[in-house]
């Protein structure tokens, strides 16, 4: 089955710095890669996603890049703010009947004011 590795497990930055989280996946059939932000005890919230036919996608301060050949994708957050502090999960999905995501282990991002 699919295996998703996510690094780092913890990331501490100063407000205004950039943050980068990296993920690798193993199954070349995966074709959809969402990123979720989860605050403690809350639901995962989709913040950005990318499909396998696209190499990069940007939404304001957040961007995601995908390298299908190397099977890795990354989340970039610029101008970080304290409210960006949360756990971020990457996932790789492929179509079974439905689209089933395999999640990474998560990155705890801490943004210091």
Partner 1 sequence: AAGVIQSPRHLIKEKRETATLKCYPIPRHDTVYWYQQGPGQDPQFLISFYEKMQSDKGSIPDRFSAQQFSDYHSELNMSSLELGDSALYFCASSPGLDRYEQYFGPGTRLTVT
Which chain residues interact with partner 1 by CB under 8 A?
32, 34, 41-46, 49, 51, 89, 93, 95-106
Q: Give the nearest distance from C-beta 98 to partner 1 in angstroms.
A: 5
Q: Which of 65, 102 has the CB closer to partner 1? A: 102
CA distances from residue 30 to 19, 35, 69, 107 in whole angstroms, order as listed = 25, 14, 12, 21
Length of the chain: 113
Q: Are strands 99-103 and 86-95 parallel, antiparallel or unpaired?
A: antiparallel
Task: Say how many Å lie between the first and final Cα of the chain, rounded.
Answer: 41
With respect to partner 1, which residue has the nearer C-beta, 68 or 78? 68
| Tokens linked to 86 | 């949360």
Shorter beta-carbon distance to partner 1: residue 71 or 103 = 103
State the nearest-atom distance from the C-beta of 14 to partner 1, in Å. Answer: 25
* In the complex, least distance from residue 59 CB atom to partner 1, rounded to whole angstroms: 14
């Amino acid at each position: 089955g699919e295996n998703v590795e996510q690094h780092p497990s913890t990331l501490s930055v100063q407000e205004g710095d950039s943050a980068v989280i990296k993920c690798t996946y193993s199954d070349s059939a995966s074709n959809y890669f969402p990123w979720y932000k989860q605050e403690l005890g809350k639901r995962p919230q989709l913040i950005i996603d990318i499909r396998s036919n696209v190499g990069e996608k940007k939404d304001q301060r957040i961007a995601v890049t995908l390298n299908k050949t190397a099977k890795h994708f990354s989340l970039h957050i610029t101008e970080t703010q304290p409210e960006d502090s949360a756990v971020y999960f990457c996932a790789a999905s492929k179509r079974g009947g439905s689209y089933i995501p395999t999640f990474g282990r998560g990155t705890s991002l801490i943004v210091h004011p």
